[in-house]
Structure 1
Amino acid sequence: MSVPPHAPPPPSPSAPGRWGGWHAWSHWGHLLRLTGRVLAWACLRSSYQGARWRALAEQLVAAAFPTLPWYAVLSTLFGQVLIRIVVVTAIGYGLTPYAVDMVVRVLVLELIPLTAALFVLLRVTVGHGLALQRLRAAGVFDTIRAAGGDPLRELALPRVLGGVFATVLLVLLSVVIALVLAYLNLYGFTPWALPGYTRAVGHIFTPAVTLIFALKTLGFALAVALVPMAAAFEPQPSGEVRALVRTAAVLLAVELLSLIGNYY
């Protein structure tokens, strides 16, 4: 079959790959712009006044407090099992002086922020993203824009701050539980070892390690709070699975940066 003289040339095989790569980068660019807008709104005093403060308070309570009892129980069980394994192993190999260091570095610095972030992601922020997509489909975004408002500020910002607050709160709760369980597993119910224990923990939490831990917790909190809701503001909202994959990618990037800061 002959090709007409004025027919356009067939597309090259690499064209779909180039378009797919550009499409993926556009999603990440949209996420970065959205993050900048949310952080800008969060820094304004007017975002916490009047009816906006009431909406924010409702989201903070709804995101954090229903998850506290279940997470406290799960964190206690998981922490007790892991701490007992570390303590027994350290005693068996004659490494008892290093047991506190291993518990704090493995459980507190590495596992607790990631576990809390994943818990908030699955229990809270994925639902927030789906709720925003339903509101957009129902025309609520257009109604807010017609009234001169910004749906990102009125609807997404309280949910983002609620997710961040829930993650930070669960991390702090888990750290307290883990440190108490570590002391009880190592020394029992005696108070006489408390000065040495606090001194050992203080040697681990140097200013640099504390700063990296705080930034890592904040990065995890922003990742699980922002990425699932970004799909509702894209021109073509993506599915729940893609939102989870992007969130996992951001969490992995934050974890790698924290490891580089702590150990390199």
Structure 2
Amino acid sequence: MASAKLATGAAPRWGSAFLAWVVAWVRVVWLGAVLGVLALSPSSWRAPTRSALARHAYTDTAPILAGFTLLSALLTLVITRIVVVTAQSYGLSQYALEMVIRVLVLELIPLGAALVVALRCTIPNGAALAGLRRRGRFTALAGAGQDPLVVEVLPRMVAGIFSTVTLAALSSVVGMVLAYLAVYGFTEAGLAAYSRMFGRVFDGTVSLIFILKTFFFSLAVSIIPLASSLLDLRPGTSREAAALQGLVRMFAVLLVLEAVSLVGNYY
């Protein structure tokens, strides 16, 4: 009897939790779509919005650009050395540099750039937006005839996309250059072989997948934390728990995108 009552009570709770999960995802996707439309609308980019975008793009990119690039360079040198030495011991040295490029440039650097931007920029920006909303900033903007999404949210979202793409692009170039130098040194003798290997790795399909993956990574880390911070809290849910749920959503999307890109690249 008691177990039956427990099961009967648990079912509505599970159903309510699942419904809340679905509603939260729908609202995040809806808000992301709204921000996408606003970003493509010329009327959104008046002088104050452009100024805010420039400010956020600088503050979200400049402080972490040098550090992430140096970290990527160090990781490139370490992984290249390990892979080259291991490949030589098995007589597979002709595949070593290709493996480094595939692992670093195709997979690790875009994912690392997205995670760094999320942890250093977009998640704190989401917390800042939640604070502005609690203090009545959104209500004041709406009362003044301004759209809070355009004034406060849109510049932060576009700045997050810019930061992720910039970090991934610059670190990928640095990684490719250092991988060549780690194997061939400061000589032009390996340029022909390196160019052929690079063209074999980055064919049309892989290049398109790499561009799309980096772009969708930037969308995920820029939209989900900001959208999650603007969701109305369920009764009994703390803001820390809500922030954690947003973080879980973002990691889930990144995981799905990475899995899809792996399938596209290797199957």
Bin for the TM-score computed over the shorter chain: over 0.9
In the other structure, the counterpart of 1:219 is: 216
Amino acid of the structure 2 residue aligned with 1:51: P
- Share of identical aligned residues, percent? 43
Match for residue 256 of structure 1 among 256, 259, 264: 259
In the other structure, the counterpart of 1:177 is: 174
| Pairing of 1:97-246 with structure 2 (within 5 A) | 97-236=94-233, 239-246=242-249
Distance in 2, matches of 1:49 and 1:16, equals 47
Distance in 2, matches of 1:181 and 1:47, equals 41
8 Å CA contact 2:80–2:97 kept in 1: the answer is no
* Residue 62 of structure 2 is aligned to residue 59 of structure 1: no
8 Å CA contact 2:229–2:243 kept in 1: the answer is no
Shift of 1:82: 1.1
Shift of 1:94: 1.1
Distance in 2, matches of 1:159 and 1:45, equals 17
Distance in 2, matches of 1:36 and 1:65, equals 28
Distance in 1, matches of 2:133 and 2:167, equals 30
Q: Which runs of 4+ in 1 moved over 4 A?
A: none
In the other structure, the counterpart of 1:18 is: 15
Shift of 1:144: 1.1
Deviates more, 1:199-208 or 1:238-247: 238-247
Match for residue 32 of structure 2 among 23, 32, 35: 35
Q: How many residues align?
A: 255
Segments of 5+ residues of structure 1 without an aligned counterpart are: 1-9
Shift of 1:262: 1.2
Match for residue 92 of structure 1 among 70, 89, 94: 89
Deviation sequence 1:112-171 (CA, Å, 0-9, x none) = 111111111111111101100110010001111112222112111100111111110110
Shift of 1:47: 2.5
Amino acid of the structure 2 residue aligned with 1:126: I
Distance in 2, matches of 1:202 and 1:45, equals 38
Segments of 5+ residues of structure 2 without an aligned counterpart are: 1-6, 234-238
Deviation sequence 1:30-85 (CA, Å, 0-9, x none) = 11101100110111122233111111111111111111111122111112111111
User: Normalized against structure 1, the TM-score is what?
Assistant: 0.93
- Give SS of 1:90's match: helix
In the other structure, the counterpart of 2:236 is: none
Deviation sequence 1:163-203 (CA, Å, 0-9, x none) = 11111011011111111111011111111211221221011
8 Å CA contact 1:79–1:178 kept in 2: the answer is yes
Shift of 1:13: 3.4
Deviates more, 1:157-166 or 1:142-151: 142-151
8 Å CA contact 2:224–2:246 kept in 1: the answer is yes
Amino acid of the structure 1 residue aligned with 2:243: E
- Give SS of 1:149's match: coil
- Structure 1 residues 13 and 119, CA, compared in 2 at 3 Å: closer, same or farther? closer
